[in-house]
A and B are shown apart, each in its own frame.
Chain A
Amino acid sequence: MRLPDSIEKLRQRLFGDTVRTFAWTSLLLLILLAVAPAKHYFADWRVYQRGYQQLISKRSDAVTLRRHFEPGIQQIWLPEIGVVDRCTTCHTGLKEASLADVSKQPYRHHPDMPHKAEEFGCTVCHRGQGAATSVEDAHRATDAWDEPLLPAKYLESSCGQCHQQDLKGTPQLNLGRKMLTQYGCIHCHTVKRPDGTVVAATDDPPSLEHIADKTSREWIYAWLKDPQAYSTTATMPNFKLKDEDARDISAFLMASSTPGPDAGSKVVPAVLEQAKKLKGDATLQTKAASLYGQSFCASCHAVQNAAGNLVGGDIGPELTKVGSKVKPEWLQAWVRNPHQYDPGTAMPRYRFTEQEVGLLTGFLMNKADADLLANVHLDAATPEQIEHGKRLVSDSGCAACHEVNGVKRPENFAPELTKVGSKPVAQLAFAPGVKHTLYDYLDAKIKQPHAFGAGLKMPQYTFTATQVDALVNALLSHNERALAMPAAKTVPALPESHYEAAGSAGKLIRDLNCFSCHMINGRGGEMAPELTSEGSSVQRDWLAQFLRNPNTLRPALIRRMPKFNLTDAEINTLTDYIMTVYQSPKVDRDSMPLTGYPAGQVELGKQLYYSKYGCQGCHIIDTKQDKGYVGPSLTHVGSRLTAAWVYNWMKDPQALRAGTQEPKRDMSDDDARALTAYLMSLKGHDAMEAKK
């Protein structure tokens, strides 16, 4: 091959003879040799360290800052947790509080944080490549890098690697974890914590074995097409089913449904009559509404008000359109005794009279939405449709959440997520347009699962941006690093409590589902006060009276303890059990008398109450003067609480009830005793007299 003339001339000029060749090659070599020191001199970290020295030289505390500054590569080395972090080589001002006004990176002062950098390094929380000393390598290198720096909104996920319990400082992570257990994710995906325990679901998807007792095929169809159209708070995702598929699934569910236990036998025609009468009878309607109110159904069930806002609790399903869903025969049996249809339900068995059952049934049947099923017209199902429906039910994984006759619960229906937070990017199949990082993948997978390919089974949820971020946080916390963390550095999850109360009281407690709202020995809900130490805190007579006719202690609460209409014998059983079994080891109920405190001490207590401690800011004693709305009313406190409990509460409220808002004071024994004397003198007799 002949080179073009011009280049041939150039070659002649440069390498024409030996001397020239030698000279030019030497020069080239020299330049090549100079690359190394130059690279060294211009290394990112040296540039930043020079910049830092310049920055601090102009500051008033330059001398101190210069003394703190250590030149050269810095490193935090923690072999125990696999950390080699050289981030402080460039992030030189990390610990200098006086640089709080510097916003230029990498010199910014690190905001306050719960751990020391020396203890955990940087990458345990921020990810990134700790050993790198160039900006690109340390932070992101390429989009397909396995350990890019975590965006700030996902930082809380790193706390979750060690902390398996909720933390005050990690609302996003807490929410994400709660959602994992609440929205059915873990019915399909197994998630194990580092200690090997399996994350358990807290939702309770209904069994579909007897669904034909409860509702119509038309409702099932409408629900399948769009669960949120029936209830905005429904946790079941929208599976975006085709009309035929929804038709066939509804056909199969109706066909496979078997009669529930005692179905039909408990239908009381008089009750149904009563319920029907409600439609045109305003007086009955008012009566039913007030019964619904008095029973505090709204403590657990929400209903949309005229303004479109949901009002009420979220323990039970929303009832705005329940009349379009359930059959009156089923509803009256449910209101009478929910345990019969669903032994595991959170709903208590109220002791309603038959007339009350009728009123409530009618009241709820009237909560219907005529539009919901107006456009649903289904012809009788063919055997092929039913067969197709069955295949869809088993393919879509319905049985991972619901019991369905004839379809087994699928094992490992979806991938396990125990290590999802460290899944290599190379192993992920990205949807078009999704950035190639793990967190963007997770975000997209939750937001638009169907973009990842037709036929994928992950359903479409309707979450807000905040909820998706929270979920991604929770998922990122389940990773290899969390699994490898030495046990001494971790805070394991509280073991799940399976506490059951014993004997006939235990049976009553299950029947009333006290655990749905009250925590006892680590098991139960958080809506109402914990009862683990109730026997040390209250007086027997008060408790019995309260169970007979609960009235709220907190004037501002809308969620209240319902009246269950218990018999005297039932009240006795419960009261005896609570007074003997639920005692605090910290309080000896009988160590202080309930009455008989000297008048002087009572008077002193009253002064302390109103002046020194300002208790009236939160509590009410004198209903004419005091207005405090935060704590419980104390008008009857001397008839309600034991003196020993009050005294111990004055000394250290958090020791008796963790997390209570009542601030702990540095109270002398004398003050505490005087306040106890005053509070115990408040028997509430005047108020009771006045009522009579």
Chain B
Amino acid sequence: MKKPIACILTFLALAFSAGCARHDQNGFTALKPTAYGAAIVESSGGKQSAAVGTTLHDPLVVQVNDEQGAAVAGAPVMLQGPTGVQFEPVAGLTDSSGQFTSNVTLGVAPGRYQLVASTTTKAGKSVELKSEAIALGYQEMLGSRLNDQYCARCHNQDSTPERVSNYDNLAVNPHLFTEGDTLNKMSDADLASIIAHGGPALNKSPLMPPYGYTLSKSEMQALVGYIRVVADPPYGAPGIVYAQK
């Protein structure tokens, strides 16, 4: 009678340890670091937006530094994110320039995703860096495309030879859609109204043209959705911020 129980127990133990071993591969122990740093900073790839479930255009690059701020090669880095976010690779050692590069695939729900990069110090302490990525759902994605087509020339300062920004040419400077400090204070109705009827609708400059006869209602709604999701600081209600538990 005792044997089967023993068998089952061993099996469970084995299964459990197999599960743990899998976890460990993602953890630090399997990494075999050759050096340790004191701080972790973001080099590039933060604050990007992309369609839900897709890979961010540029990889996330973080750098591990020592106390003096010099880059440390061979230090361990591990990435974590909310459920559904994938990193390729999820952990590894910094390269010769002290950097660790990973491609980030977003989860399936639209919203903001908090990404955490961490490294351990010589003393075994974990230091973290928080970064953020924005996942655009159907509506926000459409808004982002419309923004590129109609609005970005005036509402974005970034200039390329192909698309010269018109921002500095305007007598009244518009706000960038990321300027949450200002735009978060405007209601959805106000945003929709200035987009549909132009600046004069809110006693603002006619340099903001009306789009109510060019875009459909749902397209203007999509633009509002886009403005909300890229706002920095984030727009309060009702979006969800996905962070790790």
Contacts and interface: CB of A to CB of B under 8 A. Distances in A.
A462 to B, nearest CB: 16
Interface string B218-245: 1001100100000000000110101000
Contacts of B238: 100-101
B213 A665 contact: yes
Interface string B85-119: 00000000000000000010101111000000000
A612 B57 CA distance: 41
A664 B211 CA distance: 7
Interface stretch (A360-368, A388-396, A624-632): A624-632
B81 interface: no
Interface stretch (A70-78, A110-118, A478-486, A638-646): A110-118
Contacts of B107: 152
Interface string B130-149: 00000001110110011001
A153 B84 CA distance: 12
A661 interface: yes
Nearest to A168: B145
Q: Which of A114, A613, A630 has the most CB of B within 10 A?
A: A630
A587 to B, nearest CB: 19
Nearest to A625: B171
B206 A611 contact: yes
Nearest to B169: A627
Nearest to A151: B53
A666 B54 contact: no
A613 B146 contact: no
Interface string B163-190: 1111011110000000000000000000
A108 interface: yes
A611 B164 CA distance: 24
Nearest to B59: A465
A218 interface: no
B135 to A, nearest CB: 9
B199 A466 contact: no
Contact of A168 (B51, B52, B146, B213): B146
A617 B207 contact: yes
Q: Which of A172, A614, A630 has the most CB of B within 10 A?
A: A614
Nearest to B209: A663
Q: Which of A112, A152, A154, A169 has the most CB of B within 10 A?
A: A152
Contact of B166 (A100, A628, A665): A628
B162 interface: yes
Contacts of B211: 663
Contacts of A617: 154, 166, 169-170, 207, 209
A469 B138 contact: no
A172 B53 CA distance: 12
B92 to A, nearest CB: 18
B27 interface: no
A155 interface: yes
A172 B206 contact: no
A28 interface: no
Given A103-B240, A614-B209, A112 B225 contact: yes
A376 interface: no
B242 A103 contact: yes
A465 B103 CA distance: 9
Given A168-B145, A665-B213, A152 B139 contact: no
Interface in A97-136: 100-101, 103, 108, 111-114
Nearest to A559: B162
B55 A465 contact: yes
A112 B213 contact: no
A611 B222 CA distance: 29
Contacts of B108: 151-152
A148 to B, nearest CB: 14
A101 B55 contact: no
Contacts of A155: 53
A466 B55 contact: yes
B225 to A, nearest CB: 7
B157 interface: no
A171 B54 CA distance: 12
Contact of A111 (B138, B146, B212): B138
Contacts of A466: 54-55, 57
A469 B103 CA distance: 14
Contacts of B206: 611-614
Contacts of B199: 614
Contacts of B138: 111-114, 169
B161 interface: yes
A665 B165 CA distance: 23
Given A168-B146, A466-B55, A629-B164, A101 B139 contact: no
A144 interface: no
Contact of B213 (A618, A628, A661, A663): A663
Contact of B54 (A169, A172, A663): A172
A169 B164 contact: no
Contacts of A654: 214
Contact of A629 (B146, B169, B207, B213): B169
A171 B146 CA distance: 12
B44 interface: no
A476 to B, nearest CB: 14
Contacts of A618: 166
A677 B3 CA distance: 101
Given A6-B1, A614-B207, 8 more contacts: A111-B139, A151-B53, A153-B52, A168-B142, A169-B145, A466-B55, A629-B164, A663-B213
Interface of B: 1, 51-55, 57, 103, 105, 107-110, 137-139, 141-142, 145-146, 149-150, 153-154, 161-166, 168-171, 199, 205-214, 218, 221-222, 225, 237-238, 240, 242
7 contacts: A101-B240, A171-B145, A613-B209, A617-B169, A629-B169, A663-B150, A664-B213
